[in-house]
């Protein structure tokens, strides 16, 4: 029997589900780290931790690119069951309400505390702030840079995913043969090329585009980010059903991990040496390190895909629960971190204890959010969950309640 046909009998790939859950879990820890690392963020600890920089770089180059890839794979499983028009409608219903709800309800506290810390005395009370936030009339500016509102902050990922799905659905409707040819071309790539070719591509776009189009997460004129993220999304879509590509990543997992470690060591060491304010590395070194960044980026992604495909093969009620909960977790996690971090910083706690409390509060807040919204019908679509019929809710297993 044709291996592709036999693979299509599988309803889903548990390894990709586990990877998606794990990547979002890392994202929560990463954003907790953003409160402490010296880099710019919405709110900051009064006691930045410089040594966190190389630790943060363990996931910084690849975490969101991996999420776009896995999201593309998930879209593939959905797209096989429906027309491009139906796919567009379903993804619009899944992504657009949470995005709009977050921009006007979930995200504003992040902007509020950002203004409180950056511009003391200018935020006012929260309701007054929200009115100015929602009407784009805040005029909160510092050193020539202004806070643009309404904003989507961390929800930029959802906005981009929505747009990429629309583009993909258009391609599926207008050029299905082209998509099949692209899928067949990836299927024919030799194993080594699945490691080398993406590294070359990622290095070329980073060297050629990043200076002209730095990442903004503003959707428009964010061309380097689109070249990176949409390519990953499309790669995930085109390879999700390929048993050969899956086996290739399993075979590549150890070389990919070695490349990721070497790339991280080179990139993190470079960033550490040139971390001083105003330090400008030689142009040749900067371009070389952008290529090293690409080695780290794809090496880590290929290693995660390979080890995941090799070891994360079982589903079960825990994975089912986490798969449902991960989107609501994502929606609320950053707001919890910002509000809790700003509040905890005033208590003067021992910093390791403060960080542990911040992580615990964030996880507890995410869990509580999911438990509540999963049971309140009108909230479910606002957090990316499907509406449930009464009979479906009654028959839900206790482990998923």
CA–CA separation, 91 and 324 (whole Å): 15
pLDDT score at 144:
87
- With residue 112 as reference, give the H or E element that holds it: helix 108-118
Spell out the SS3 assignment of 321-385: HHHHHHHHHHHHHHHHHHHHHHHHHHHCCCHHHHHHHHHHHHHHHHHHHHHHHCCCHHHHHHHCC
Mean pLDDT by 10 residues, the chain (401 residues): 38 89 94 97 97 97 97 94 94 97 98 96 95 96 93 98 98 96 96 98 98 96 98 98 97 98 97 84 95 98 98 95 96 98 97 98 98 96 85 40 29
Three-class secondary structure of residue 142 per DSSP: strand
Beta bridge partners of 145: 142
CA–CA separation, 111 and 118 (whole Å): 10
Sign of the torsion formed by the C-alpha atoms of 368, 372, 374 and 379: negative
CA–CA separation, 3 and 242 (whole Å): 9
Phi, psi of 141, rounded to the nearest 5 degrees: -130, 145
CA–CA separation, 50 and 28 (whole Å): 19
Phi, psi of 222, rounded to the nearest 5 degrees: -105, 55
CA–CA separation, 217 and 160 (whole Å): 8
Residues 6+ apart with CB under 8 A from 290: 203, 206, 207, 210
pLDDT score at 2:
39
The domain spans of the chain are: 3-107+152-400
- Give the global pTM: 0.93
């Amino acid at each position: 029997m044709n291996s592709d046909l036999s693979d299509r009998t599988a309803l889903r790939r548990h390894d990709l589900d586990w990877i998606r859950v794990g990547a979002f879990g890392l994202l929560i820890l990463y954003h907790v780290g953003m409160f402490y690392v010296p880099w710019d963020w919405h709110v900051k600890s009064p006691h930045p931790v410089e040594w966190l920089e190389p630790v943060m770089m363990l996931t910084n180059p690849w975490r969101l690119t991996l999420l776009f890839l896995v999201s593309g794979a998930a879209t593939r499983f959905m797209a096989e069951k429906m027309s491009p028009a139906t796919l567009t409608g379903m993804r619009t219903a899944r992504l657009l309400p949470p995005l709009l709800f977050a921009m006007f309800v979930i995200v504003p506290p992040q902007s509020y505390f950002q203004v409180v810390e950056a511009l003391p005395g200018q935020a006012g009370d929260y309701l007054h702030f929200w009115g100015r936030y929602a009407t784009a009339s805040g005029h909160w500016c510092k050193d020539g840079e202004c806070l643009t509102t309404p904003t989507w902050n961390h929800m930029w990922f959802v906005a981009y995913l929505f747009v990429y799905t629309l583009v993909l659905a258009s391609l599926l409707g207008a050029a299905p043969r082209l998509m099949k040819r692209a899928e067949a071309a990836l299927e024919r790539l030799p194993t080594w090329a699945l490691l080398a070719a993406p590294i070359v591509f990622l290095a070329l776009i980073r060297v050629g585009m990043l200076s002209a189009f730095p990442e903004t997460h503003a959707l428009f004129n964010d061309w380097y980010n689109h070249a990176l993220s949409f390519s990953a999304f499309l790669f995930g879509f085109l390879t999700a059903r390929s048993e050969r590509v899956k086996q290739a990543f399993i075979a590549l997992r150890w070389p990919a991990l070695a490349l990721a470690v070497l790339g991280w060591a080179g990139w993190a060491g470079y960033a550490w040496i040139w971390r001083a304010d105003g330090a400008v590395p030689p142009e040749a070194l900067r371009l070389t390190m952008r290529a090293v960044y690409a080695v780290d980026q794809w090496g880590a992604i290929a290693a995660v895909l390979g080890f995941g495909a090799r070891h994360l093969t079982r589903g079960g009620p825990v994975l089912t629960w986490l798969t449902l909960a991960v989107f609501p977790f994502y929606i609320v996690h950053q707001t919890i971190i910002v509000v809790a971090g700003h509040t905890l910083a005033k208590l003067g706690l021992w910093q390791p204890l403060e960080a542990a409390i911040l992580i615990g509060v964030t996880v507890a807040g995410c869990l509580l959010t999911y438990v509540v919204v999963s049971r309140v019908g009108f909230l479910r679509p606002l957090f990316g969950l499907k509406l449930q019929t009464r009979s479906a809710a009654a028959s839900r297993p206790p482990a998923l309640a």
